[in-house]
Structure 1
Amino acid sequence: MTTQDIETLVDELTLEEQVSLLSGSGFWSLPGVERLNIGKLRVTDGPNGARGGGSLVGGVTAACFPAGIGIGATWDPDLAREIGGALADEVKSKNAHVSLAPTVNIHRSVTNGRNFECYSEDPELAAALAVGYIQGLQAKGVSATIKHFAGNESEIERTTISSEIDERSLREVYLRPFEDAVKKAGTWGVMSSYNKLNGTYAAENAWLLTKVLREDWGYDGIVMSDWFGSRTCAPTVNAGLDLEMPGPTRDRGQQLIDAVEAGEVSRETVRERALNMLRLMQRVGSLDDHRAFEERAEDRPEHRALIRRAGAEGAVLMKNEGVLPLDAPQKIAVIGPNAKVAQIMGGGSAQLNPHYRVSPWEGLVARVGEDRLTYAQGCTNHRWEPVMDKVTAAFFDNETLDGAPVHVEEMDSSVAFWIEGVGGGKVDPLHFSARVTGQYTPEQSGPHSFGLHAAGLARLFVDGQLVVDVWDGWTKGRTFFEEGCDEVTGLADLTAGRPVEVVMDFRTKPTDNLQFSAFRFGVSRPLGEAEIAEAARVASEADVALVFVGRSGEWDTEGSDLQDIALPGAQDALVSAVLAANPNTVVVLQTGGPVEMPWIADAPAVLQAWYPGQECGNAIGDVLFGEVEPGGRLPQTFPVRWADNPTRSQDPEVYPGLDGRVRYEEGVFIGYRHYDRQGTLPLFPFGHGLGYTTFEISNLRVMGEEVTVTVTNTGARAGASVVQVYVGDLEASVARPTRELKAFRKVRLEAGESADVTLTLSARDFAFYDVEAGGWRVEAGAFSVEVGFSAADLPLRCEVVREAESLAV
């Protein structure tokens, strides 16, 4: 169908039909128009896979790719393009047309719960990766939905807080990935953020959605709300929000028709919004898609291989004093809470039900055999007590658990996220109760900790005794997207081998903003000093010790910022004990962002593996044994301590926010720009990463807009490095960073090989955004051009002189 055809089609729609296209019909779908044979449009989360139309828990399995920060660490837009293409296949397997991805908000702080889902602290790196990812998706006819537009850099009061950001910082930092997504990648979808931007909700911010997005950048795609992120009718439609999600509508439908009749919204505006929706449906082929809805689990060998390769490409070798790569030692001690658990993804809307998970232990067993491995957990690192397997839920069509249940179903685990079709569709999803029953058999005798949190009211009983109560005195916390309470725990003495009955009673409560019900309960035996001592003993008897520590999707999750960046629980004590017991220790970190490392001076090798997707253990093993290079470079600065990062101000309005406002006081000085300005040395700088060979860079030449250097692999094996070009304005009339990343390229060379690498700098790369002039401005004078391998390793430098120049937006 041509553009002219949709221009004709939109005028064939009645006002009611046009309005129907501007809000969802269900949680993941839009209505078609049966009269004109227009098919339905379907969407799916998310950035590291296609979950499909089910709940956040369970459902049809899907391929799980590396988390956003792992893709960011690859510094490889071509690989991001490959991943985007594979994810397009995944979206199609879930019978969807639109992927709610990528997430490109900037790593403003080190404690943002959603850092794992985003690419970088640097806007140019994030922009380049977003362009590749979107191009890969849309080349196969699947729409991207770049998010969250804009100013969603923390998860505290995220649905209501106002991000106070000056226009220059917005243009130079926080809008940059979105700008390139529009101008270079031609994204078909943009998702508005929950938060307010400078006092106005993003979903009804005309400056953001119309002035910047459509007028300045020439965007012709659709803008959809985040789920329940549209709060008004006429203001959102007039501001430029095309689509309210999810359905059924809260703010449109008859309300919008009435607003048109009352003159609050023009018919032309509704027509424009409907035309945008038809254009999207045309692009993704849903106009003529009348297939029966079916979701498939397609576990493709090529996707397995890509995920494994991408996991290794994002792994950052932070430190190595000759321990890595591993040879074939006689005995390997495998230690830590992340050793036998595959931490493959963060939490929240990015999570999915993977085809499989390969833990580090399983990857090592497959590689060297179990007889050469010993194991000790040492400590725990869970935020919430581990869930129970196989429970039964009985649903009641009242909120008091009265009468006989109207539906009973088996559940794989003791966690649920109920959205629609609750209780087999036999209860009102906003007004029901449930009793969930399971059995737990302890392996050891002694006190066990039971934990429970819920978006709803709940109580937990063990063999009939009340152990946890979040029914009376329920208090809003940081779980389930800020709709749930914090976990409450209680102890019960259990006997090894003797099963106990665990019963949780649940009832709905009025929601705050997001309409769903959820719970999670679990149990574990607390560990202590004895288990750490045992881990040290196991390490002392091995040739090499591998310590797998970090966080999980319980900590790195949408809806909840971190309280600090220390490793949770007793992990620092565990690492120190193992390092003292075995000098050949490798610390393997899995986190969604920086952590403090008080033991770093004693650690001979540290590998940051992030959340690398379903091939986790295999990808990590490939790097540890040197079968592939650790290809990653840090996309975010690691500070020595939490207090060093840009948002650790004495003023709580700067972070985490105060009285409904979070003020971006640091302006453009985020990430490495902040550390340069303050003269603070980081633990590991932006762009840092080691390999198993060495590189030298020489012979800097700048001719016009081209920067050329010679890169030489001076080591004994093939490898890769990232050439990074930074620009600084030496005579600026406004406060500018000492240096800003403006170009980069991943270079692969054989041992002893040299190559000239040329990168391009445009006039825009020397400019700042002049708010008064309303455009980009290059000031006449001298600029530094620095080239090297990280923001703190820039051996080549020259100065260039630029003429004054004004550039359009």
Structure 2
Amino acid sequence: MKTNKIEELLDAMTLDEQASLLAGADFWTTVTIPRLGVPAFKVTDGPNGARGGIFKDGPKTACFPVGIGLAATWNPTLIEETGAALGVEAKLKGARVLLAPTVNLQRTVFNGRNFECHSEDPWLASEMAVAYVKGVQSQGVAATIKHFVGNESEYQRMSMSSEIPERALRELYLVPFERAVKEAGVMAVMTGYNRVDGTFMADHRRLVTEVLRDEWGFDGLVMTDWMASHDTVYSVLAGCDLEMPGPTRERGAKVVAAVQDGRLLASSVRACARRVLQLADRLGCFADPVIPAERADDLPAHRALIRRLGAEGAVLLKNEAGALPGAAGALLPLSPKAGQTVALIGRAATVPQIMGGGSANVNAFYRVAPADALRAACPGVNFSHHIGADIHRYTPVLAQPMTLDLYASADLSGPVVATQTVPNSEAQWIGTLPPGIAPDQHYSARTTLRYVADAHGEHAFSLIVAGVARATLNGEPVLDAWTGWQRGETYFTFGCDEVIHRRTMHAGEVAELVVEFSSVMPLAPGDEGPHGFAALRIGAARVLGEADIAAAVEAARNADVAIVFAGLNAEWDNEGLDRTGITLPHGQNELIARVAAANPRTVVVLQTGSPVTLPWLADVGAVLQAWYPGQECGNAIADVLLGAAEPGGRLPQTWPLRLDNSVAIGNPEVYPGVDGHVRYDEGVFIGYRHYEQRGLATQFAFGHGLSYTTFVFEGLTLDRSTLQPGDTLTATLTVRNTGPRAGSEVVQLYVHDEASSLARPPQELKAFAKVTLQPGEARRVSLSLGMRAFAAYDEARAAWIAEAGRFELRAGASSADLRQRAGVTLAADWVERVAG
């Protein structure tokens, strides 16, 4: 549609109609104006799959690896292919806007959404962002880069103000957004829940209009995060176009009143409405206004891509012979023979951990367990399984269908208006309503569950609820999340903290659990609740103990190989709450140490979305970090363990040796924040920059990852010894596979400024390339660096400055494994002033 046609549409609209475009119609779609033929478009979460309009148990979809797992591939070409596949998945759900990627940096080890983000490093994060956005938008689907900006933790996320020095903002946190705008032409940006320097991001005119739009030239749509709109006038003036979800809270009639009262110019409303119309036009909505029904097409090509991604993002952290005296070689890849025994230990061996929690969650087509994949790949091998220790944060839900009787009242009065059956003992009504319930109507439910104890011991029963709930066990009131309900950290902070009851039960003993629920959310004065949001989670499980660890250790002792599947799950790596530490929960460290002592051939497969400490590291032969690799979880892990695929991943985030060595430790004002403010006092020194500046040893360096073969780097050369301001430098070196297998290596190029008037990190990643080589094969790799690769942001001059002098370029396989160096001299200062 030509620009003048959009202007004609705007001319034909009333102020009320223009204002109506500035908020969603419902949880996932925008507003239509039928009389003028203005169509709606549908949006969908999220970074690792297109979920569609039903938050839980909706139409199935493909589940891809999480963001940190994608970044661990260090392969932009593959990530662009992944983005294209996700664009296809979005269209299958009737959506033309994908709410992804998440590109906030991993400032600390605590962020609950660490798994969803790409990296601690702005260059790696931005390379992934550019590739992802290009891929998504190649399918005619808008990518929505988020969360703009300074949303690096989940603690008090709806109100926390990030106090970020301008230099750190420019050099670190804005970089992925800037490159996505300038290099990928991203069509949409989502503002964060947080404030920056005291102003909510949806209202932040300096960052949204002056930086994003005016300075970078962004001409797309800016939307709020869900329920993150706070001020009618300020958000419109800031250039935030679309409030989500609908129906509106701060737009609509409030916008019209603000114009009529003289607090807003009609031209400001028109500008926001224009950008909504422009996005609809770019997405082809005017030409094809129909939002199709959601489809669940299980595409073979996407299955294969997800499996490849899981292996290419898996990071081999350690690979030695194990603790066998005199043993040679490396423990991985495994090649178990028929008749041998492999002990599989850990809940994640049989319950695949495929994704993190929160808005990134999808209803996957399937979940391949590592135990099943290994058995299928190794006929004749004897596999045993013992849980040993648990990984959960909350009492596990019952893996049995739950039927709820629903009432069109808040107190279970009146007749049952409908029943609803869900696959397990968790029900979510987020953006949807139960059957038989009208919009804006409170409702309640009752369900009865039968629990049979699997063994003698302590058993736990629990409730988590967004709304209120209570439960009886065999007629005895045992759980109360009704009276005295308080908002906690669950369900995006709209649910209460877990309420638990424990009791000893004998094997085979039956418990009848009757649970009553109401959607009424008793919020504190001024604490406005969310639209269309309620949830009920019922947990029931035996509490694991010493006998479970002992059984796993005995199985390991009698096995030829022991594989421990350890880590976290989507309850720890979850939107809405940060982690409290980096220690594996539930005695997993003790379990691994004792298994390793019983069997020197012990492999540990870790699944986490963020770093953890590994006190047993010296005692195990091999450690593989598999992240949350999507629906092909077990197949991808088995491929790497058995050598059918190369462990292609490299760490996108440094793993500290100890928690107290990590960034933002020791001062609550720096993390998690005090009185609604968190100070980024470390400035540009996050991630490997922090550890190197302070001379701190790490458990695993940024960029670390082993291969099943070996590589050498040779002959780093530069195409010039002296740079003039504005030049591009090309660095070239040879990479050679000196081992027995084909494999991949990531060439990482770091820049060190030998003398600077600004305090600079010892080195910064500025380019990288992934190469795959056959045994004995060598290849020349060239990497180009523009002026920004040598520059720092000078707040006093409001400019990027590369100061004249000498720079050292360092090529290596990680930030700590530097193998080639070369120097270049910048002849004179290069200055790029910031507009505005």
* TM-score in terms of structure 2 length: 0.95
Shift of 1:445: 3.6
Unaligned runs of 5+ in 1: none
Question: Aligned residue for 1:584?
Answer: 601
- Given that residues 391 and 410 in structure 1 are in contact (C-alpha distance below 8 angstroms), is that contact kept between their aligned partners in structure 2? yes
1:668 Cα deviation after fit: 0.4
Residue equivalent to 2:183: 184
Task: Give the alignment of 1:106-255 within 5 angstroms.
Answer: 106-255=105-254
- Structure-2 residue corresponding to 1:36: 36
Q: 1:680 aligns with which of 696, 703, 706?
A: 696
Give CA deviations for 1:542-583 in whole Å, capped at 9, x if unaligned. 111111000000110000100101011111011011101111
- Tell me, yes or no, if the aligned pair for 1:396 and 1:427 is still in contact at 8 Å: no
1:384 partner amino acid: Y
1:49-128 matches, within 5 Å, as 49-55=49-55, 57-128=56-127
1:695-730 deviation digits (Å, cap 9, x = unpaired): 111111112410111111111111100000111211
Q: Say which SS state the counterpart of residue 672 (structure 2) adopts.
A: coil
Q: Shift in Å at residue 586 of structure 1? A: 0.6
Residue number in structure 1 paired with 2:743: 719
Q: Map 1:628-777 onto structure 2 (within 5 A).
A: 628-648=645-665, 650-704=666-720, 705-777=729-801
Pick closer, same or farther for the CA change 1:687–1:420 going to 2, 3 Å. closer
Q: What is the distance in 1 between the residues matched to 2:796 and 2:203?
A: 24
State how far apart, in whole Å, the 2-side matches of 1:426 and 1:607 are: 48
Q: Which runs of 4+ in 1 moved over 6 A?
A: none
Q: What corresponds to 2:631 in structure 1?
A: 614
Give the structure 1 partner of residue 497 of structure 2.
486
Distance 2:253 2:650 in 1: 52
Does the CA-based 8 Å contact 1:37-1:288 persist in structure 2?
no
| Residues in 2 aligned to 1:91 and 1:657: alpha-carbon distance in whole angstroms | 37
The reply to whether residue 270 of structure 1 matches residue 295 of structure 2 is no
Does 1:786 pair with 2:786? Answer: no
Unaligned 5+ runs, structure 2: 321-329, 721-728
Distance 1:687 1:757 in 2: 18
Say whether the 8 Å CA contact 2:456–2:504 is kept in structure 1: yes
What secondary structure, in the 3-state scheme, does the structure 1 residue paired with 2:142 have? coil
Contact 2:42 2:291 in 1 (8 A): no
**Partner letter of residue 674 of structure 1?**
H
Distance 1:425 1:505 in 2: 18
Amino acid aligned to 2:13: L
* Distance (whole Å) between structure 1 residues aligned to residue 440 and residue 656 of structure 2: 45
Residues 231-282 of structure 1: CA distance to partner in whole angstroms, max 9, x if unpaired?
Answer: 1111100111000000000011111011112222212111111111111111
1:283 positional shift: 1.4
* Pairwise CA RMSD: 1.4
For residues 8 and 584 of structure 1, what CA distance do their matches in structure 2 show? 73
Report the Cα distance in structure 2 between the residues aligned to 1:429 and 1:535, rounded to whole angstroms: 51
Partner in structure 2 of residue 324 of structure 1: 332
User: CA–CA distance in 2 between the matches of 1:304 and 1:191?
Assistant: 29
The structural deviation recorded for 1:423 is 3.0
Query: What is the deviation of 1:498?
Result: 4.4
C-alpha deviation, 1:9, in angstroms: 2.9
- Whole-angstrom distance in 1 between the partners of 2:458 and 2:753: 62
Residue 493 of structure 2: SS of its match in structure 1? Answer: coil
- Is the 2:406–2:443 Cα contact (8 Å) retained in structure 1? yes
Query: What is the 5 A alignment of 1:110-509?
Result: 110-291=109-290, 293-321=292-320, 322-329=330-337, 330-369=340-379, 372-388=382-398, 389-427=400-438, 431-507=442-518, 508-509=520-521
**1:531-610 equivalence runs, <5 A:** 531-610=548-627
Contact 2:57 2:422 in 1 (8 A): no
Question: Which deviates more, 311-320 or 480-489?
Answer: 480-489
Aligned with 2:367: secondary structure?
A: coil
Residue range with higher mean Cα deviation, 503-512 or 317-326: 503-512
**What is the percentage of aligned positions where both structures have the same residue?**
51
- Give CA deviations for 1:16-53 in whole Å, capped at 9, x if unaligned: 22212110000000012211222211000000000001
Quote how far apart the aligned CAs of 1:102 are.
0.2
Number of the residue aligned with 2:9: 9
Instruction: Give the whole-Å Cα distance in 1 for the aligned partners of 2:430 and 2:309.
Output: 33
**C-alpha distance in 2, partners of 1:155/1:9?**
41
| SS in structure 1 at match of 2:416 | coil
Tell whether the 8 Å contact from 2:394 to 2:498 is kept in structure 1 after alignment. yes
In structure 2, how many angstroms separate the alpha carbons of the residues matched to 1:121 and 1:32?
41
1:791 and 1:726 map into 2 onto residues whose CA distance is 8
Q: How far, CA to CA, are the matches of 1:421 and 1:358 in structure 2?
A: 29
Structure 1 position 170, deviation (Å): 0.5
Q: Which residue of 2 aligns with 1:801?
A: 825
Q: Match of 1:338, SS?
A: helix
> What is the CA–CA distance in structure 1 between the aligned matches of 2:676 and 2:616, rounded to whole Å?
38
Within 1, Cα distance between the matches of 2:496 and 2:46? Answer: 25
Give the Cα–Cα distance (whole angstroms) in 2 for the partners of residues 745 and 139 of structure 1: 23
2:235 aligned partner, one-letter code: T
CA distance in 2, matches of 1:808, 1:3: 32
Task: Please list the CA deviations of residues 491-545 of structure 1 after superposition, one character each: whole Å capped at 9, or x if unmatched.
Answer: 2344433443211112221454533221211111111111111111111111111
Q: Is the 8 A contact 1:320 1:606 kept in 2?
A: yes
Measured after TM superposition, the shift of residue 327 of structure 1 is 1.3
Inter-partner Cα distance in structure 2 for 1:599 and 1:115 = 24
Q: Which moved more, 1:756-765 or 1:799-808?
A: 799-808
SS of 2:593's equivalent in the other structure is: helix
CA-CA distance at 1:193 after TM superposition: 0.2
Distance in 2 (CA, whole Å) between partners of 1:379 and 1:26 is: 43
Shift of 1:99: 0.2
Larger displacement relative to structure 2 (280-289 or 340-349): 280-289
Query: 1:422 touches 1:429 (CA, 8 Å); kept in 2?
Result: no
Aligned-pair CA distance for 1:292: 5.5
Residue 416 of structure 1, CA deviation: 2.0
| Aligned mates of 2:403, 2:429 — CA distance in 1 | 15
Q: 2-side partners of 1:594 and 1:530: how far apart? A: 29
Instruction: Count residues with an aligned counterpart.
Output: 807
* Structure 1 position 689, deviation (Å): 0.2
The TM-score normalised by the length of structure 1 is 0.98
Distance 2:497 2:372 in 1: 33
C-alpha distance in structure 2 between counterparts of 1:29 and 1:121, whole Å = 33
1:568 counterpart letter in structure 2: P
Distance change (3 Å), C-alpha of 1:420 and 1:720: closer
For the residues of structure 2 that align with 1:452 and 1:289, how far apart are their CA atoms? 45
**What amino acid does structure 2 have at the position aligned with 1:608?**
Q
Distance 1:106 1:458 in 2: 37
Deviation at 1:469, TM superposition (A): 1.6
> Secondary structure of 2:507's match?
coil
Deviation at 1:420, TM superposition (A): 4.2
Distance 2:460 2:287 in 1: 54
Asked if the contact 2:53–2:431 (Cα under 8 Å) also holds between the matched residues in 1, the reply is no
Distance 1:249 1:417 in 2: 22
Q: State the secondary structure of the residue aligned to 2:491.
A: coil
Q: Shift of the alpha carbon at 1:337?
A: 1.8
Secondary structure at the counterpart of residue 539 of structure 2? strand
